Structure 1
Amino acid sequence: MAVLNALPSEFGYVILTYLYSWIMLAYLATKVGSARKKYNVKYPNMYSDKEPIYNCIQRAHQNTLEIYPQWLVFQTIAALVYPLSASVLGCIWVTSRFSYAWGYYTGDPAKRMYGVYGYIGYLGVIFLSISVALQQLGVY
């Protein structure tokens, strides 16, 4: 209970943002699994030599997994001091991953840029994390 008392009261919003991100990852993974079956891409192959749509679906998931650990770190650091701002920024980033994926799912990789607004959330939590670090160091 002491740990919970040490966290800002709004940290519950951050936890809900993490849950939202879990839903997003589960959705993207399910789409890859369905596409793997539909396009007959057998394990352990990550990509298809014959089905570019499958590759787009798989890349939307893979790219999200590539950036997810960094987002989690910055989201957590930012949320320790700015929980509400971090939650809003986190929700923007998570929502953008759906837009990114849906654009990619069209088979036109350029349409993945529908999710470019996610940089607002991603860079936002990075900047908040820098602010937390500078505060911790007594710079301001």
Structure 2
Amino acid sequence: MTISVSSDYGYVILVGASAALYQFVLGGQVSSQRKPSGVLYPHMYATKAECEQDKKKLIFNCYQRAHQNYLENLPSFLFFLSAGGLEYPKVAAAAGTLWLLGRIKYSSNYQKGDASKRNSSGAAVHYLGLLSLLGLSAYTGVKQVANL
């Protein structure tokens, strides 16, 4: 089997690289919250009791959780982006950009300290991008298997 990609696949690579770089932004944000919150290494999170007593610890947990959630979702996103982009690079890049913008908004909402508001606007956007990529990937796979 030979896979060839069009020059438009560069858009897919740029979106994937941007998504990979954003994880470092989130990691830096978590690090910037450690000292002010008093949640020092090796602890990943403050306890519930600590958060109830100190809003800075709750905020830290929200930063940490936004980062962790991003890392949990990044592998499937990158797979769907890469696979769907083989056949439809511009559409995949657009859907990937939508996913990334939604994730940025989701993280920003999460970091405000009220976890219930994380889904207020970013979640729908990133899910729309992800479902689009899932569909592109599935269609690309079916076409490949069926040799259409």
TM score, norm. by length of structure 2: 0.87
Instruction: Say yes or no: does 1:76 pair with 2:82.
Output: yes
Instruction: Read off the aligned partner of 2:140 and give its amino acid letter.
Output: V
RMSD: 1.7
2:135 equivalent in structure 1: 127
SS in 1 for 2:146: coil
In the TM superposition, 1:1-140 aligns within 5 A as 6-49=4-47, 50=50, 51-113=57-119, 114-116=121-123, 117-138=125-146
SS in 2 for 1:9: coil
Pairwise CA distance, 1:48:
0.8
Structure 1 unaligned residues grouped into runs of 5+: none
Taking only the aligned residue pairs, the percentage that are identical comes to 36
Structure 2 unaligned residues grouped into runs of 5+: 51-56
Instruction: Read off the aligned partner of 1:130 and give its amino acid letter.
Output: A
Distance 2:76 2:21 in 1: 18
Alpha-carbon displacement from aligned partner over 1:70-107 (angstroms, at most 9, x marks no partner): 11111110011110000000011111111011101111
TM score, norm. by length of structure 1: 0.91
